[in-house]
Structures are given as C-alpha cells and as structure tokens.
Amino acid sequence: MTRTPFSNLDKKTFRQAITELLEREYKILGSHKVLELIAEDIMSLHHKYYPKNSRPSFGQLSWVTTAADNPKPQLGQKFEEYRQETINLPYVTAEDIELKRQNVSKTEHDLIRIERLTKSAKKQGALLTVEELAAILNRSTATISKRIKEYHEKHDDLLPLKGYIMDMGRGTTHKKKILELYEQNVQPPDIAKKTDHSMSAVDRYIKDYERIKFLIRRGIEIQQISHMTGRGKSVIKQYIQIYKKYHEDCDDGDQQEFEKDEI
C-alpha cells in the first residue's frame, strides 16, 4: 500500500500509547482487542476525572483568531483592534486518516476540512478568515476561496467565516444566500440557522430587499433607488439579479434599463 503523510498518524494516539505500554512494560499478553478495550476504559476514566481543558490534544492546533462577538468593524479597523480568542482546531482527525486511506480527492478533502475548521471555530466563539485557512491548510488564498465557493454551490448552509458574519469586504455571498432562501419560502428562523446569522440581521436583509423589490416594480431607476434607500448601486444591482431570478415580471428589457442606468 502506498504510504502517505497520514499513514501512521493513528498509531500516535493516547489510546495507542496505553496499548503499547500494557504490552511492553506490563507484559500483558493475549488478544490485542482486549488490550484496546482496556485502553478505552482507561481513557474513559481519564475523561471522567480530568475533563477536557484548554490544552490541545492529539491532532489539534492551538490558534488565536478573532472572537465572534466583536461588533461590526469600522472602516479602517486594524486586526489587532479586534478582541481575540484562543481556540483548539481539529487539524487532523480520525476522519482525515480514513479519507486518505479511501483515496479521497484533494479537493473533496479540502472541502471537508474547511467546513470542519470554520464550524469548530464558530462553536468555540471565534471566526476564521480565508487567509487563516490558507495558512492552516497550506493552500493559496485563491484555492481556499475557490473551495468555499464550491462548498456554497453544493450546500444550503453558509460557512461561518469572519467576512460573512461581520459583513466585511465587498463579498455578498451571505446576503445572496439569505435572500435566495427567502425567495424559496424558507422561514426566517430557518434562514438564520442555515446561514449562521442572527434573526435581526436576516430581518434587516429581507426588509431592505422588499423595499427594493417594491421600487423595482414601480420602474424606479437604480440611481433613484440608491438615493431613496441609502444603499449602494452595486448592492441594488445584486438585489435586482436575485429578483430577476425568481420573478418573471422583471424581463430582459427592464434589466437592460437598470444596467444602462448603472453605467
């Protein structure tokens, strides 16, 4: 069998160390399965009397990143101005070892690890960035961005990345997903759960979208809509594209007028 960097990782666990100790130092002979069961019992007792603390265990990566409860950032805010959180990320798991044995593709493995890392960080009260994922997984930011896009094309939920949760940058993936779920008649509480956003944020996007939909139907031009709603032209254009996708009454002629106005 071809050896990979993952080939022997499951031989370096605490459980395996106990099994080897029983064989080597205590000369306990017999079924290897029995020794594994004894090791499992010892691990259970360890977890019972010494609950998991903040120290990383096998395969985990200690990482310092942005706390999820930071307020929405101000223009020009520096990274060091955010409150930080120290977390333990599941960098290499038993699942990774098994997937490598099954010869899963690098792309599919990246998708699984990106989902696991981002959701684990969020569960611990922190948010990862595309750049951090690139550093952790030793991939380029372009590759990570491509993988994230692929994930969102395949799944209804949104990965809880810093840029999405805090509405940073010009990316509008989260807004697009929220509004498309809304157009698909998904209830707002379920939208909030799927996109990992607060109900207030979901309600705000829906309210803005409904206002813009009303103005679109009235034939108002983008510049006027922008003035009336306080929203940028690029945001309004994105909302128009979503509206056009789900409503036949916005025909190509209307869209051309909007695009001419944008120019």
User: Which tops the pLDDT comparison, 37 or 27?
Assistant: 37
pLDDT tens-digit series, residues 201-254: 889 889 989 998 899 888 888 888 888 888 888 788 888 888 888 887 655 444
- Mean pLDDT within 165-192: 77
Q: Hey, where are the domains in the chain? A: 9-49, 60-164, 170-262
Quick: pLDDT tens for 32-47.
778 888 888 988 888 7
pLDDT digits (tens, 9 = 90+) for 120-154: 999 999 999 999 999 999 999 999 999 998 998 88
Of 167, 28, 169, the closest CA to residue 36 belongs to 28
- Which residue in the block uniquely carries the two structure tokens 């096998």? 58
| DSSP string for 206-263 | HHHHHHHHHHHHTT--HHHHHHHH---HHHHHHHHHHHHHH-TTS-HHHHHHHHHHH-
Name the range with the highest mean pLDDT among 78-82, 89-93, 201-205.
89-93
Contact 90, 117 (CB under 8 A): yes
Q: What is the DSSP letter of 174?
A: H
pLDDT score for 177: 80
